[in-house]
Amino acid sequence: MEVTEVRVKLAETRDEKLRAFCTVTFDNCFVVRDIKVIHGAKGYFVAMPSRKLMDLCPNCRTKNHLRSRYCNECGRPLPQDRVVRDEKGRPRLHADIAHPIHREFRAYLQGAVLKAYEEELERAKQPGYRPPQDDFPYDESYGEEAEAHGPAQPPDTGDKRQHRFGEGILP
**Interface residue list for Zn ion (CB under 5 A):** 57, 59-60, 62, 71, 73-74
Closest distance of CB 76 from Zn ion, Å: 5
Nearer to Zn ion, 7 or 52 (CB): 52
Q: Which residues does 162 contact at the CB level (< 8 Å), separation at least 6? A: none
Closest distance of CB 50 from Zn ion, Å: 24
Burial of 28 (0-12, 13-18, 19+ CB in 10 A): exposed
Nearer to Zn ion, 1 or 60 (CB): 60
Q: What is the 3-state secondary structure (H, E, C) of 47-73?
A: ECCEEECEEECCCCCCEEECCCCECCC
Nearer to Zn ion, 56 or 97 (CB): 56
Sign of CA dihedral 31, 140, 114, 10: positive
> Helix or strand or coil: residue 147?
helix
Closest distance of CB 164 from Zn ion, Å: 36
Closest distance of CB 79 from Zn ion, Å: 12
Nearer to Zn ion, 47 or 71 (CB): 71
What distance in Å separates the CA atoms of residue 88 and residue 85, rounded to the nearest whole number?
7
